[in-house]
Amino acid sequence: MLIFAWTWATLLSIPQFFIFRVFEPLELKNFKQCTPIWTIIGYELDLKMGTLNESDIEGKLKIFQKFSQVVAWERFYNMAHLLFLFWIPSLLIAASYTAILITLNSLSVVPEKIKNKKEINDWEINNNNNSLSTKCETINSNNTRIGLIAPLTIAKARQNAKRQAALILAAYLTFWSPYNLLAICNAWAQKDGTIRQISTITLPFLNGLIVVNPIVNPLIYGVFDKYKLCFTRK
């Protein structure tokens, strides 16, 4: 499974080698920038448009058609990029954690006779007061006591795992969804529209917010590990 995941990740990353290039504008010396190829093509078409005469309608129409094709390819790339980067992984992650929660929930049934510690303690007191039991009976009683406590401990561990899975999924969707939702709107928005103006301001911040997700995940694991340690000591 791990080899399959890395293979697909490598294959899907190959197009980036052809899409992004180092751009050096002629009028700006000592300036270099890594940018998508359609940005470069759009810039070059804009320069050509400026060199045409006002009466050259046919030439301008050809340039406009080429520019429309570039915009269409850019939109297709952006949608495919968002699809493979966020939406498909989100569906897989949500389905996986949902399956985990359903499985843990189906296995978290605690027998009625050991639902609380008081009944276990009462059973232990009654067992200790039985001075007429033989050595063999004592061993069997201890094994029974362990058998009663074990399901309760496992049930609490499952409950802890369910909460941890839910928080991990919620953190992922919280930090990743805003950027990807706005990016989709931006891909279909008009060039000089309100959405484009909002995206120009907010997308860099939302993109930086994604980086917070790997920082939050260890905190979630740490909190639950600390809780597990405290529970184990008790």
At 140 the pLDDT is: 52
Q: What's the rounded Cα separation, in Å, for the pair 224 and 143?
A: 29
At 7 the pLDDT is: 93
How far, CA to CA in Å, does 188 sit from each of 67, 125, 155, 191? 16, 71, 49, 9
Give the dihedral of Cα atoms 137, 138, 143, 145; nearest 10 deg: 110
Average pLDDT over residues 81-90: 88
Q: What's the rounded Cα separation, in Å, for the pair 95 and 90?
A: 8
At 12 the pLDDT is: 84
Q: pLDDT-derived band of residue 151, with 50, 70 and 90 as boundaries?
A: low
At 104 the pLDDT is: 75
Q: What's the rounded Cα separation, in Å, for the pair 46 and 66?
A: 11
Which tens digits make up the pLDDT trace of 41-62? Answer: 888 888 888 888 877 888 888 8
In this predicted structure, the answer to whether residue 234 has a pLDDT above a threshold of 70 is no
- Does the pTM of the predicted model rise above 0.75? no
Q: What's the rounded Cα separation, in Å, for the pair 155 and 115?
A: 10
Q: 3-state SS string over 100-155?
A: HHHHHHHCCCCCHHHCCHHHHHHHHHHHHCCCCCCHHHHHHHHHHHHHHHHHHHHH
What tokens does 86 get?
Answer: 């966020």
Looking at the DSSP bridge assignments, the partners of residue 35 are 21
Q: What's the rounded Cα separation, in Å, for the pair 131 and 129?
A: 6
Q: pLDDT-derived band of residue 224, with 50, 70 and 90 as boundaries?
A: low
Which tens digits make up the pLDDT trace of 88-126? Answer: 988 988 888 888 878 877 765 544 444 454 454 554 445
How many CB atoms are located within 10 Å of the residue 183 CB?
19
* Rg (alpha carbons) of the chain, rounded to whole number: 31
